[in-house]
Structure 1
Amino acid sequence: MADPRFIHLRVHSDFSMVDGLQKIGPIVSAAAANNMPALALTDQMNMCGLVRFYGSAHGKGIKPLVGADFWVQSDELGDEQFRLTLLAMDNDGYQNITLLISRGYQRGHVQGRPVIDKAWLGEHAKGVIVLSGGREGDVGKFLLKGNRQMVEHCLAFYQTHFPDAYYLELLRTGRPDEEVYLHMAVAIATEFELPVVATNEVVFLTADDFDAHEIRVAIHDGYTLMDKRRPRRYSPQQYLRSQEEMAELFADIPEALENTVEIAKRCNVTVRLGEYFLPNFPTGDMTTEDFLVMKSKEGLEERLEFLFPDPAVRAERRPEYDERLDIELKVINQMGFPGYFLIVMEFIQWSKDNGIPVGPGRGSGAGSLVAYALKITDLDPLEFDLLFERFLNPERVSMPDFDVDFCMDRRDEVIDHVSEMYGREAVSQIITFGSMAAKAVVRDVGRVLGHAYGFVDRISKLIPPDPGMTLAKAFEAEPKLPELYEQDEEVKDLIDMARRLEGVVRNAGKHAGGVVIAPTKITDFAPLYCDDEGHHPVTQFDKNDVEYAGLVKFDFLGLRTLTIIDWALGMINPRLAKEGKPPVDIAAIPIDDKKSFALLQRFETTAVFQLESRGMKDLIKRLQPDCFEDMIALVALFRPGPLQSGMVDNFIERKHGKEAISYPDEKWQHESLKPILEPTYGIILYQEQVMQIAQTLAGYTLGGADMLRRAMGKKKPEEMAKQRAGFEEGAVKNGVDGELAMKIFDLVEKFAGYGFNKSHSAAYALVSYQTLWLKTHFPAEFMAAVMTADMDNTDKIVTLVDECQRMGLTVIPPDVNTGRYRFSVNEDGHIVYGIGAVKGVGEGPIEAILDARDRDGPFRDLFDFCNRVDIKKLNKRVMEKLILSGAMDRLGPHRAALMATLEEAMRAAEQHAKAQAVGQVDMFGVLTEEIDDVKKAFANVPHWPDKVWLEGERETLGLYLTGHPINQYSSELRRYTSGRLCDLHPTSRDTVTTAAGLVIAARSMVTKRGNKMGIFTLDDRSGRLDVTLFSEALEKYEELMQKDRILVVSGQVSFDDFSGGLKMSARELLDINDARERFARAIRISLDEQRIDERFFPRLCEILEPARAGVCPVQVNYRRPGSRVRLTLGTEWRVTPTDQLIDDLRVLLGRERVELVFD
């Protein structure tokens, strides 16, 4: 260490989460630029950044010092917490700091944060240096309180447990009481012969970062910047001061500077990185290697019997499987990974034995025959040309990585099993960090700066919600953003500050699927982080760092589709059993089912895994896949690279014989490549094909070919020059012309950038095919399962109900007598809406309903329901929701009567319950009130109007299920339009068509040219029409383009190449009221003398009054015996014929006595 003057021993990165602004890279770079030979990272109560700090510091020639800032509690200070900084002198110290941090999290938060007990320090003192925490430490607090006795008491504790390793910390950052404390601390240090040390408690890089850091802290604490209650805990001086600045600042206390260097010399921690430590798998008396060989050979035998039931065919095919298995086993055992395969095999087999659905595999692991033999994967890699070396390359040592999909609902059971098997202290999930993303950071900064919600909302809404969106990308995507930024100073200030905070770590969570299993305790490798209650521990190192630290990651991923398949089979197989048919084994279905491919070719793939997006349907329509290999290709083709490069077009043209197939190019091809490229019509689509071409043409080993594939992906000139030379040399040795070899190399290099992992594509194509097959052969059960999975997503349910109707399936309202929590299928084959999808009805009430029904059978009526169901779990509000949704339609005359009778039914049930509770009996000892006696008559009320009925469904189900709002307008819409949507046809440019319907979806977008356009979809129950408003029309009609509005549109109708339906470019939009004003000649009401009394005309005036000032005349047809007269009210009584007016008149007069006149 070359004569340093000062070392920073207390530095926070953004991993502190409650403070700290900078990422580790810039901190280390700044330290290196200042020639600092060492640096400590001491984030608050965590070491989340340790691995990347350790690596980054070594990379810059800086000695990394390992430690953390702690919050501590003790009996001496009661509820008042204090701070200490702990630094590791050696690996014992590192281990002790790890354990202290973990204990702090495991016991749960105290006063909103993880805290350690002071007593724990004595248990974990070995190898640890303690910095006293300055004015915020226990000694500092007692010094400032003037409590000499407690100062001595605290010092005695530290001198006992940390002799020669306790330093009184001095800071000069301009915060209250710092200088007062400093003089007291120096005096006490002299008196007790204690060392002092200077720190700067660094939380940002430069003084200019102070404002941004204050906002960062205020975001975390929930204050606005100007809030007088906001704690001001930081100063502008807490930046990464240079050695010279610190030397000048503490020139009067040189030993405080010297001790920073002394401490840095004392701290020597070696963090073992880049090694792998696997838990021991129980194999009895056998070695792990031998056990793997045995299990693999047993498993392969089972697989071969399934694949080739004919013994002769099996004997013929066996050699290639045996040879491949031996090669793989040799590599796995030589690389030291047999335990990894066995661990994965065990928890997958346990899951299957316990009825937990497991995916067929994903990622490159599907290329391993050993994995297939061990039933880790379910795809035969030889059948689909999947390569083991793409998964595990003997020429490049790296851990194998199986991504395993489990049923979403039961994934945690598998993790629990693994915890039980290997020990709970040895198993943990992995941390993930949430950062301040573009949209959120604008909202947060705006709130903290005190801007009005509307102002911030307007800016935030301009940022697209796409994953990975940044402010820089948003400025390119949305022209209004840079425009506002330049025009409005407040917007500029907000965006500038948001840019400084964008990407800063904000919080921690749990990785979706990562689980680590250690050979010993997890804390031997990484500290733990827990939730506020001290539960659900995760490693403080993220998925990349935890592997670098030596722990092997296993991905336990939850795949919703597996849950859907499981739910569907749970309905299908009981039905088949009743019919005396064998159950469906989804793993054994044929993958060449003609009906399934016919459905696929009609691109009817809504709800089919990975194949339901609009773009994918377009690709399916063009490709017309007719075999499983085509489905594998679909997954690989539907990516930006292939779509934009023209590869997709070539693939489709070649498949349909419109372009000659060559291997790979008509000018440069070689016959030996035909077997490799034939499944993809000569197109280099998969990474495995790149590897096979190198092997076949240039004699590469598959391991070497994998290195070539990686090199092509990275595009490093030096490496590529080396690979070119090697490829040419190998090809010439194989008798291939050198020029041809290089031309093919260039083509391979070009396509390698677009190449996709075939193993992953094949595994996911299999899941896609399984859902396609279920939709084809068991449509009702499949769709019911899909809707259950999406029951919390109203928009998705609307789409799925529409798909059911298109498929000819009937979806009926929820039903307390036949329905379940999930969507189900009744004996008529109808899908019964899941009661769990009714808004406002929770699991508790549904459980009570199902318990009562399962116990005593279906409910007879509303009174019976109220009597038998536990009313404590079903309050009046819940029952109203059930009535509105249609779930009680079988329990009374109609919904209006059920609603009007509900209170009486609940009251009667309550009386009955009280009578039972007190044992009210007559002289013969029989209850005086049996259930039948409670039954009362239903209220005699009229049916609800359609509008009320449908609105109730929309409120509780999120959609109109038993009717459609358009129905009440159908007669008048015929007067405004060219016909129903199903009757429309394309028109010439000059022909205007008028159509009408309910807006079911609407959105605005910006075209590539920067013009805004609107797109919405109309539905009139006969069909649908996509309508486009270009910029001029959009500006005029944007307010009308709202979901759930009835609109009349005029424009040009044309054919939509994608959907196969029609679309309209609209010129004019009218809402229903505007259409009536334009087209209706009058509103006509019919009266007779029986209906007229002294209250009639005042009520009629009351109804007409709000609608006056319109242009539509009111006609009155009056009839009495022997005479009839028609009169028109004066012009002052002309009205706007709104829905409200028509509804009110119909209530007063009767539906048939109010009509719009068009002739």
Structure 2
Amino acid sequence: MFIPLHCHSTCSFHAGVCSPEDLATRAASYGFKAIALTDTDRMGGLIRFYLACREHGIKPILGVELTDPSARQASPASRIPMAESEGNPSSSRSGDARAGQPSNAIVLLAKNAEGYGDLCEIITQRHVDPGFSFAKVFAKPWPNLFFLTGFPHLLRQLAATPNRASLYGELVNNGALTRRRSRELEVVTRKFDLPLAATNNSYFLDPDDHDTHRILSAIGLVSTLSRLEPHETASRNAFLKSADQMGRMFPDHPDAIANTARIADDCNVELELGQWILPRIDVPNGHTPESYLAKIAWDGLEQHYAGTNAYPRAKEIQATELDIITRLGYPSYFIMVKQVRDWANERLSEGYRRHKDCTILRGSAANSITFYNIGASDLDPIKYDLYFQRFLNEERASPPDADLDFGWDERDDVLEHVVDKWGRDRVAITCTTNHFRGRAAFRETAKVFGYPEEEISEIQKSLKTKTRRVHDDELERIMTIAQRIKGKPRFLGQHPGGLLITNDPIRRHVACEYSGGPKNRLITQVDMHSGIDELGLIKFDLLGNGSLSVLRDGLRQLSEQGYPDPEVWDLEKCYHDERVLDIIRKGRTKGIFYIESPAQTRLNKKAQVESFEELAITSSLVRPAGASYTATFIERHRKAKAGITDWEYLHPSLEPILKDAHDVCAFQEDVTKICHEVAGLSFKKADRIRKMMNSLHEGELSETLLRQTAEEFMQGCIDTSGLSREQAVELWNRVGSFTGFSFCKSHSASYAQLSFQCTYLKAYYPAQFLSAVISNQHGFYTKDVYLNEARRWGIRILPLSINESNNGYHGKHNWIRPGLMHVRNLTQKSLGSLLLERNANGHYRNLTDFIRRVDIGRKEIEKLILVGAFDGFGLAQPELLYQLDGVYGRLKPSAPSLFDSAEGLAQELHPGLKDYTLAERCLNELELLGFMLSGNILEILSMHPTSRNAVPAARISEHVDQRIKVFGWPVTRRVHHVSPERSRRTTHSGQPMLFITIEDKTEVTDVVFWPDVYDRFADTLAEPGPFEIWGTVSEEWGTYTLEADTITAVTWSPNVVDLDLASRRLENSFKDYAPYADIQPTVAA
């Protein structure tokens, strides 16, 4: 009986065509009792394959096709056995080291679980050890592996190693092995008395998949189909064959067929899936992790709750949590999270913080009172009614998953600490798998057909804007093939936070490789969806959060400027400060983490948010899952504020769950609670339904499964809580409409806390806050928008200065000084030298003094002059450039002896040159900074002829139901696909519409292009702007939107308008429309 021992899946990137699951399904349909998966140098699909085979009742054989990077060999595609054309190397592309060279590969198959660990070990070595070679790795015995190779020279080498007893010659006859190689292989096996095993080295399931395989191979080789050599791909015959077909292919080698079954009989890998692997934790003497966790949890409980009304409830919840945590075996995980946060709060706060809370524990982990009591979380689960069972319960199959946020620029320090603490060989980051998506699949397919990049971009643009129809036969074929490769994996990336820590070398559990790039982290080959949980590896997310850096940098500026401690750490004061609440209610939230997007701003204004709890709700409702509930919530919430409650709960059992959101599902927990408490389902089933809602949104659920789940839910509601059939149906419809991405309550609450802190900082110290936002470059908008926001708050933007500007922006009182970080092509080395010298020896006296003291290139100095950094020396920029030409060579630090003469020469180089015009300065700044400092682009734009009769964005509220014109720059754009139930207008399901935000000098305003308008103007909307837009102003709950009917892209240049006039008006550019200038910044004593 033949058993396939050499098969590839899509995890052989740019070569395999079928998924691991499809391979198992086909094997079962052929009646195979076992099958092997052997992807090239990769093990990312093995766990999926293992589970799929078990589901079909066949034995999974876990293997890999290993190549030797130390040999001169081709890319993955050219390691495919050669087609019958003989694969003459001389016919390969001239100078292409990837193609036409002798291949070498060995198939390794695991005999048992120890052998699986050996595979992980070898593959990791293959990717991370620069000295890896077959000779080196196979010099030692690997008794838990089988070895197969079809290359005679490798067979000879392996026969001389300790692994000879498990070695087979691989006989392939799929049109890829020449008669010469076949004869040579048989000679070698007879000489060394080695057995043969027959394989087909399959890359796809059916002959018709060959075209897809060739496309993928060409993409991997960065080749076109016309240049693809025959030996660079598998032959059309390299598909998975049945046992009968293989028997007919090897009529003279029944032994080679029989040996496949013998090998399969000896391959019995039983993985202990679901056995959680936790790192070793240091605890004080006399304690176990269990006892130590209990001690610090109870100590924290006394500190938080002793003497309060919540004390009895807190003790009850703490006891229950500790019992579950201990029985599930997770005390070490909780202590690990605490230890990492404690280290971060201690070490990262040194030098510039007077407060050490520089991290956030978010996600469902913040539901835990244990994390709160041990000091790993700042959220009180009792006060905010957080739901521990969303994070952890006895029926949950997946392990706990804690997310810990740090400043974006501090995360690497924390990662290095974790590596140092637990060991470099025991820490890796979860990979992500990048797949071909629609546009990328089309683009890559078109490239292998020979289309140039520019033409592909034009085709995609015209198809998107519907200015081109598919009528070309080749284009239709490209689109058809692109659909076939859509969804297939392309390459691995690095998870933004998913850290894995084990108690022994991680490479014994999962194959790893380096991520590449400057940080080159060790990443797994298995991603979160392909077996990390099943392998027992528990993910711990360490994530960079730009707004924590903003908060830190804003506070640091205040400290350096002598301000008293701001009250951002007095959370109750933040939550009830009227100035803070007014900013949120009125949508003045640009720069404020989590609540600055146009959608969130509109929702907060409509709901008139005025509490921490309300912000947590709205910031979850704005996500896709809650979108269908938003209007109902706003209406009921506004009525509730007015003391009106004219609606009833669907059923009384829902009131304890949904009372805060007025009978509306706002959080993930709401679905879980309804399923468990109202429908009486187990936590496991309740959590499964919660997860199903996301799959329902993505169209991944079968109708049968959905009907079965709905019936179980509705019957449970009737039996458990006494709902009528009609009520049960309605409740299921509600749960079923909560589809797509959503947040758990503790996640929203954790981020709402940071939002309030940032709002407090903006309310009282706007210059310091906004300068920190721009410096960290992690806001929703571009730096231009934040600079304009600062102007609206009455803050002056000062010029760049070689003596006053730092790397980043800094603010004080009512001004912001831009940083040098945005000067294009100014190297970090030069910028660092400039700042270090200035800090060490004081301000620069003039240009010559600067050149003498700083080792910096002439071109870089030129750029600094043209952006105004030397304007403070009192010379025109052309004069400075003239002076630079005359003295640069003499004033280099390497020529100090020429200093006196050069200094004297510089005094003479003031030829009285006229300075650049404002237009020229603006153009230089646009080119070298990406924005203007000498002029205000919005003020200049307001003088454009097109702006006549345009209504200022700040005043569209005065024109409700009127058709008006606005003129400005687009600062956000987002395409939505709408359906009738989610649109205020009747439209066909799935039609695209566009929301954009337009900015003029007065404010920003939201503009909507309904599907019919978007269809007509999609091409125009792809332009950068500025735009002249006509439409009708609509009002909804105090927010205003322009419903566009016409748009024109306007050609613009600083020379179009009178820039000198603009300069004279610049100081007062926002005077008429500065609604925030009345908010006076707090000034240090």
Please indicate the TM-score interval, normalised by the length of the shorter structure: 0.7 to 0.9
Structure 1 position 138 matched with structure 2 position 124: no
Residues 962-983 of structure 1: CA deviation (Å, up to 9, x unaligned): 3146877988949x93478479
1:101 Cα shift? 1.4
Partner of 1:435: 435
- Cα distance in 1 for residues equivalent to 2:600 and 2:133: 54
Query: Residues 960-975 of structure 1: matches in 2 within 5 Å?
Result: 960-964=932-936, 973=945
d(CA) in 1 for partners of 2:751 and 2:881? 49
2:554 and 2:769 in contact (8 A); partners too? yes
Q: Alpha-carbon deviation of 1:583?
A: 7.3
Could you say which residue in structure 2 is the equivalent of 1:331? 324
1:985–1:1053 contact (8 Å) kept in structure 2: no
Alignment of 1:459-858 (within 5 A): 459-461=459-461, 480=466, 484-485=469-470, 487-531=471-515, 536-544=521-529, 545-575=531-561, 578-579=562-563, 585=569, 590-645=574-629, 646-657=631-642, 660=645, 662=647, 664-665=649-650, 668-669=651-652, 674=655, 676-689=657-670, 728-731=718-721, 738=722, 748-753=731-736, 754=738, 757-790=744-777, 796-826=782-812, 828-858=813-843
CA contact (8 A) 1:408 1:560 kept: yes
Structure 2 Cα separation of the partners of residues 979 and 188 of structure 1: 86
Matched, 1:947 2:947: no
The equivalent residue for 1:1150 is none
Determine the C-alpha separation between the residues in 2 that align with 1:1066 and 1:454.
Answer: 31
Q: RMSD in angstroms over aligned alpha carbons?
A: 4.1
Q: For 1:93, which of 105, 115, 132 is the aligned residue? A: 115
1:285 correspondence with 2:266 = no
1:1028 shift after superposition? 8.5
Sort the Cα spacing of 1:615 and 1:165 in 2 relative to 1 into closer, same or farther, 3 A.
same
Deviations 1:659-692 (A, max 9, x none): 6255524xx446xx65554422343434545666
SS in 2 for 1:204: coil
Which residue is equivalent to 2:63? 67
Helix, strand or coil for the counterpart of 1:351? helix
Q: Distance in 2 between matches of 1:199 and 1:876?
A: 65
- How far apart are the structure 2 equivalents of 1:986 and 1:291? 60
Report Cα offsets for 1:777-827 as digits up to 9, x if no partner.
221121111111218x9961122122212222222233221111111124x
Identify the match of residue 858 of structure 2 among 859, 870, 876: 876
Q: Residues of 2 paired with 1:869 and 1:894: CA distance?
A: 22
CA contact (8 A) 1:1001 1:1043 kept: no
Change (3 A) 1:267 1:888: same
Cα deviation for residue 95 of structure 1 reads 2.6
Which residue in the other structure is 2:1076 paired with? Answer: none
Q: Is the 8 A contact 1:892 1:898 kept in 2?
A: no
Deviations 1:829-865 (A, max 9, x none): 4111121122222211111110121122112222222
Instruction: Tell me how far 1:696 sits from its aligned partner.
Output: 7.5
**Residues 228 and 795 of structure 1: is their aligned pair in 2 closer, same or farther, counting only changes over 3 Å?**
same
Q: Contact conserved, 2:117 with 2:508, CA < 8 A, in 1?
A: yes
Q: 1:279 Cα deviation (Å)?
A: 2.3
Instruction: For residue 370 of structure 1, report the CA deviation from its aligned partner.
Output: 0.7
1:693 to 1:379, Cα distance in 2 relative to 1, 3 A: same
Corresponding residue number in structure 1 for 2:77: none
Aligned: 1:55 with 2:39: no
Amino acid of the structure 2 residue aligned with 1:551: L
For each residue in 1:492-539, what CA deviation from the matched residue of structure 2 results, as whole angstroms up to 9, or x when unmatched? 011111111111111112211111111222122112222469952222
The answer to whether the 8 A contact 1:335-1:397 is kept is: no
**Structure 1 residue 423: Cα displacement:** 2.2
Counterpart residue identity of residue 96, structure 1: D
Corresponding residue number in structure 1 for 2:263 = 263
Matching residue of 2:138:
121
- Once the two structures are TM-superposed, the CA of residue 240 in structure 1 deviates from its matched residue by 0.9
Q: Mean Cα displacement is larger for which, 222-231 or 991-1000?
A: 991-1000
- Which blocks of at least 5 consecutive residues in structure 1 are unaligned? 140-150, 306-313, 464-477, 732-737, 921-926, 1075-1137, 1144-1159
Structure 1 residue 261 displacement after superposition: 1.3
State which of 352, 356, 371 in structure 1 corresponds to 2:345.
352
Deviations 1:221-248 (A, max 9, x none): 1111112678624211111122221111
Higher Rg of the two aligned structures: 1
Decide whether the 8 Å contact of 2:278 with 2:332 is kept in 1: yes
Residue 719 (structure 1) shift: 5.8
Structure 1 residue 934 displacement after superposition: 4.8
Judged with a 3 Å threshold, the aligned counterparts in structure 2 of structure 1 residues 1059 and 496 are, in CA distance, closer, same or farther, namely farther
* Segment drifting more, 261-270 vs 419-428: 419-428
Displacement after TM superposition at 1:341 (Å): 1.0
| 1:1091 aligned residue | none
Is 2:274–2:535's contact at 8 Å kept on the other side of the alignment?
Answer: yes
Q: Is the 8 A contact 1:987 1:1053 kept in 2?
A: no
SS in structure 2 of the partner of residue 238 of structure 1? coil
**CA gap 1:798/1:579 in 2 versus in 1, 3 angstroms:** closer
Equivalent position amino acid for 2:423 in 1: G
Query: Is the 8 Å Cα contact of residues 951 and 965 (structure 2) preserved in structure 1?
Result: no
TM-superposed deviation, 1:636: 2.2
Counterpart CA distance in 1 for 2:691 and 2:977 is 37
Separation in structure 2 between the aligned mates of residue 531 and residue 1027 of structure 1, nearest angstrom = 41
Deviation of residue 1071 (structure 1)?
Answer: 6.2
Q: Would you say the 8 A contact 2:941–2:968 is kept in 1?
A: no
CA distance in 2, matches of 1:394, 1:1067: 58
Structure 1 counterpart SS, 2:146? strand
Give the superposition deviation at 1:249. 0.8
TM-score (normalizing by structure 1):
0.78
| 1:107-118 aligned within 5 A | 107-108=129-130, 116-118=133-135
SS in 2 for 1:547: coil
Residues 812, 622 of structure 1: alpha-carbon distance in 2 compared, 3 angstrom cutoff: same
Conserved in 2, the CA contact under 8 Å of 1:539 and 1:546? Answer: no
Asked if the contact 2:961–2:1032 (Cα under 8 Å) also holds between the matched residues in 1, the reply is no
Residues 162-209 of structure 1 deviation map (CA, whole Å, 9 limit, x = unaligned): 34321111111223x622111222233234432111111111221112
| In structure 2, C-alpha distance between the alignment counterparts of 1:967 and 1:399, rounded to whole Å | 55
Cα distance, 1:988 vs. partner? 9.6
Tell me the equivalent position of 2:883: 901
Q: Counterpart of 1:236 in 2: which secondary structure?
A: coil
Residue of structure 2 equivalent to 1:473: none
Aligned-pair CA distance for 1:28: 1.2
Q: CA deviation at 1:59?
A: 0.9
**Does the 8 Å CA contact 1:1052/1:1066 hold for their aligned counterparts?**
yes
Kindly indicate whether residue 169 of structure 2 is the aligned counterpart of residue 168 of structure 1: yes
Give the stretch that moved more between structures: 985-994 or 876-885: 985-994
- Number of the residue aligned with 1:888: 870
Q: 1:941 to 1:655 in 2, by over 3 A?
A: farther
Q: Which runs of 5+ in 2 are unaligned?
A: 75-100, 350-356, 697-704, 979-986, 1060-1085
1:878 alignment partner AA: E
- Matched-pair contact (CA < 8 Å) for 1:134–1:171: no
Look up the SS of the partner of 1:431 in the other structure: strand
Equivalenced residue count is: 1000
Using a 3 Å threshold, how does the CA distance of structure 1 residues 662 and 10 change in structure 2: closer, same or farther?
A: same
Task: Give the residue type in structure 2 aligned to 1:355.
Answer: L
SS at match of 1:500: helix
List per-residue Cα deviations over 1:978-1020 (Å, max 9, x = no partner). Answer: 4784798799999997887778889999995699999988766
User: What's 1:340 paired with?
Assistant: 333
Residues in 1 aligned to 2:667 and 2:994: alpha-carbon distance in whole angstroms: 39
